[in-house]
Structure 1
Amino acid sequence: MNKRLATMVAMTCAAAAVAIWPGATAAVAAPVDSFYLPPPLVDQTPGTVIRTEPLAIFAAPPGADGIWPITGQKVLYTSRTQDGDAVAVSGTYIDPAHPWQGTGDKPTVVIAPGTSGQGDQCAMSVAFSTGLYADPAMLSLSANQEAISAATWSSLGARVFVTDYIGLGTPGIHTYANRVEQAHAVLDAARAANALADSGSTTPVVFWGFSQGGGAVAAAAELQPDYAPELNLEGTWAGAPTADLTAVLERIDNSNLIGAVVGYAVNGFTERNPDMRKFVDELVTPAGKDLLATLSDSCIADIIFKRPFTQTSSVTVDGRPILEHLREIPEVVELLRQQRIGTMTPSSPVLITSAINDDTVPHGQARQLAEDWCARGATVTFRTNTLPPILPGAALPNHLGPEYIEGYGPDSAVSYLLDRLNGVPLAGCTLD
């Protein structure tokens, strides 16, 4: 990382930290409101901007004119479900407050957030203004996890669009970890951002995501040639990508602080696949069904503080983990197989990073994604973070810690994507 970039990252990290800290602003983010309810009739073309609303962004450094907060927009745009139905998705768009620091045209950076929850109040756009959403009545809390990434790219002069994903903020269940729907939300966010900027399809685009976001942008990168071929995608960072959902859910369900997020996946897949619902109804106890209902309206912080180390074996009728049951049902096995990322080929370079001691998203399945893509002729760089294990099962040190090292440290994901945007050549595969 060059000195100028390092300085910018340090400044934006500091600004974002101030914005996220609960006492740094007079009020927390406004609750979900009518903005997120789509009109009865909308243009069903993917990437169409349905409506926008001005949004003061505290979680970013001042603009070039020194004014703070900078002004962004809350956006409602059109995307597609796995079945091809039009659906409204929300997100946050930030016009650059500084000149573009790279070469060539000003790019669009689409950020796919890490796991924030399944309740509408957990959408990143809800927390984006002040950096925090808190509802004392619901005892629910959600922080803007993407404040630092958005601030970093904004300070470099790029347009930033942070998607909320399908069903977060907007009506319906968030289809957590759904390969196709997360990819569509990311790709259509790029289309919406280019429409807002009136910049056209030649605009350079890069994708940025970690954990759930890493899986979302990885899926978007491999679906882009078919779903959004007009996009000028220059590169992707997929940090700790959830490429093999079965492996990820099994790891999380094994004495992990955020084990209850398995419920997010169950809720999402039963919503889109009604046949799966009857299997879940047979396998889960009444208390387990109540838990799934509660999780559908919770944020990741709620799980950490109220339901840490939840295991599905505690809510099944025979005490076996729910994945053990689902592996015995051919229809569900096929459904989980369809969620595997790596069966298509990205046409642009991808950086995949994974920690060898990640206790949440297994390193092996991330490396397998790199190997699968390389075998298909894609241009992939795979890097292993060797941070030693710290409190295994606690998720935060071994999973989130490497994000900041790989994202912003020396030889970072920021530097990698800047090189792609600056036209630095890269070919073939590098796997460490």
Structure 2
Amino acid sequence: MIRALVITALLLSGGTAAVPAAAHAEPPPLPSDDPFYTYDQPLTTTDPGTVLRSRPAPFAFPNLSTPITSTQVLYRTTTQQNTPTAAVTTVLRPLVPGPTRLLSYHMAYDALGSQCNPSYTLTGRTDSPGAVMEQAVIAGYLTAGYTVVVPDYEGLHLEWTVGRQSGYATLDGIRAAEQILGLPASTPIAMSGYSGGSVATEWAAEIAPHYAPELTLVGAAAGGLPVHLAHNLPYVSGSADWAGVIPAMVVAFRRAYNLDTAAFLSERGAQLTDAVETMCLGQFAKRYPGLTDAEMVRAPYHSLLDVPAAAAAVNDNIMGTAGTPAVPLLLAVGQSDPIGDSVMVARDIEALAHRYCGSGVPVTYARYQHHDHIAAFARFQAEAAQFLTDRFAGTPPTTNCASVGPGNSLAPVPIPAG
């Protein structure tokens, strides 16, 4: 089905037919082994978004090439601790030229290993159904005439769920794309992402007014958002489908915050974090059904949130704490049980919408009843496509703020005494 959709989309866009990919004589190196992804020169005097190097790359599906080529760009961005670093983005041009509408699309690659990077999987090197499905969405936007930018927003060290850093990488990826394409500052830009991709989208929208005020953003669509990880943690603890994200989150926070995990992980917790540290979401999410938060830690701790450094890191990633978006928002979530979509907490997303509504942001809050996290993906993509079409067309934004309730408290969790 995905193959048929991609071929149809590319044919309708006026390009030559997609054809089966020729056998690769030798697979390209993983990003972790590819010198393109490393930059060892000082970056302290280099402006965020500056292009450091670029190269052409194919846009291909597993066993299916396309007439589209992309440009991979290494650029300067900023870490969670506000130090300079580098990241990579992929710039894709539509086959049929027209007025440029730039879409920063954020794949839910939710990864700890570089083989999951969008810049790698978009070349056809993936066996992830989720990655292929999102690539089909990207192909649809290209067909519609959008120029699409797809950042590796987790950074070179794959620091998954880390908020401001993902937002910085997103906005700097847009800056780098504008440089590569020679676009004026007036170019309209929108952002979209689901699940892990919502992290990049929402945080970029928050920080854009002060971090990248020169960008002409027109809207942001985010679905399935992890607004407050302290609320997601007990929700997925013991889950059959999502418990594997617990050790993965520990790995990501160890990388981003230099957590001394040896000081609090149980023997099992240490084994699991070692096991998942190079995996993609599809490999670790269901790998440990029934795993609980309590199993990850040793006495005197009963939860990761009992660990002061871990609790502080969680608090550092509560959405809505770094700024107020200056563009219309679509915020969406599924509802398959009384809490949420099986992994994201619906009332947390409602609370974020309520907060932004109170600040005068035009927000559309959508809750998809009877849809779990996976099923809500398609509903979100359909609504996001119309939302983005309206934003680029200059249609006045609508809002349902009057019907958005207060949701959960998004207050930081108390930091235990060390």
If the length of structure 2 is used for normalisation, what is the TM-score?
A: 0.82
Taking the aligned partners of 1:249 and 1:188, their CA distance within structure 2 comes to 30
1:335 paired residue number: 313
2:52 paired residue number: 50
1:404 is matched with which residue: 368, 371, 378? 378
- State yes or no: 1:413 paired with 2:384: yes
2:329 is matched with which residue: 320, 338, 350? 350
Aligned-pair CA distance for 1:285? 2.0
- State yes or no: 1:201 paired with 2:188: no
Taking the aligned partners of 1:13 and 1:180, their CA distance within structure 2 comes to 37
When residues 13 and 242 of structure 1 are mapped into structure 2, their CA distance, relative to the original with a 3 A threshold, is farther
- The answer to whether the 8 A contact 1:31-1:133 is kept is no
2:151 is matched with which residue: 163, 166, 189? 163
Aligned-pair CA distance for 1:287? 3.7
2:119 paired residue number: 125
1:38 paired residue number: 39
1:369 paired residue number: 352
Taking the aligned partners of 1:272 and 1:259, their CA distance within structure 2 comes to 21
Deviates more, 1:363-372 or 1:35-44: 35-44
2:253 is matched with which residue: 264, 269, 275? 269
Aligned-pair CA distance for 1:288? 2.0
Taking the aligned partners of 2:288 and 2:149, their CA distance within structure 1 comes to 32
Aligned partner letter, 1:117: A
Secondary structure in structure 1 of the residue aligned to 2:58: strand
Taking the aligned partners of 1:29 and 1:423, their CA distance within structure 2 comes to 44
Secondary structure in structure 1 of the residue aligned to 2:227: coil
Sequence identity (%): 25
2:408 paired residue number: none
- The answer to whether the 8 A contact 1:116-1:123 is kept is no
- The answer to whether the 8 A contact 2:238-2:289 is kept is no
Secondary structure in structure 2 of the residue aligned to 1:132: coil
- The answer to whether the 8 A contact 1:311-1:321 is kept is no
1:6 paired residue number: none
Taking the aligned partners of 1:362 and 1:25, their CA distance within structure 2 comes to 44
Taking the aligned partners of 2:289 and 2:52, their CA distance within structure 1 comes to 38
1:387 paired residue number: 370
The residue correspondences of 1:222-233 to structure 2 (distance < 5 A) are 222-233=206-217
Aligned-pair CA distance for 1:321? 5.5
Aligned partner letter, 1:423: G
Aligned-pair CA distance for 1:145? 5.2
Deviations 1:143-186 (A, max 9, x none): 4453022111111111111111243xx3x3x2211111011111
When residues 10 and 413 of structure 1 are mapped into structure 2, their CA distance, relative to the original with a 3 A threshold, is farther
The residue correspondences of 1:136-215 to structure 2 (distance < 5 A) are 143-144=131-132, 146-167=134-155, 170=156, 172=157, 174-215=158-199
- State yes or no: 1:80 paired with 2:64: no
Secondary structure in structure 2 of the residue aligned to 1:78: strand
Taking the aligned partners of 2:313 and 2:346, their CA distance within structure 1 comes to 23
Secondary structure in structure 1 of the residue aligned to 2:375: helix
Taking the aligned partners of 1:45 and 1:133, their CA distance within structure 2 comes to 36
Secondary structure in structure 1 of the residue aligned to 2:91: strand
1:112 is matched with which residue: 106, 112, 116? 106
1:315 paired residue number: 296
Aligned-pair CA distance for 1:250? 2.6
Taking the aligned partners of 1:175 and 1:306, their CA distance within structure 2 comes to 20
If the length of structure 1 is used for normalisation, what is the TM-score?
A: 0.80
Secondary structure in structure 1 of the residue aligned to 2:374: helix
- The answer to whether the 8 A contact 1:238-1:351 is kept is yes
- State yes or no: 1:98 paired with 2:92: no
Query: Matched residue pairs, number?
Result: 381
1:393 paired residue number: none
- The answer to whether the 8 A contact 1:12-1:155 is kept is no
Deviations 1:58-100 (A, max 9, x none): 249x9xxxx9331112221111012221111112111121244
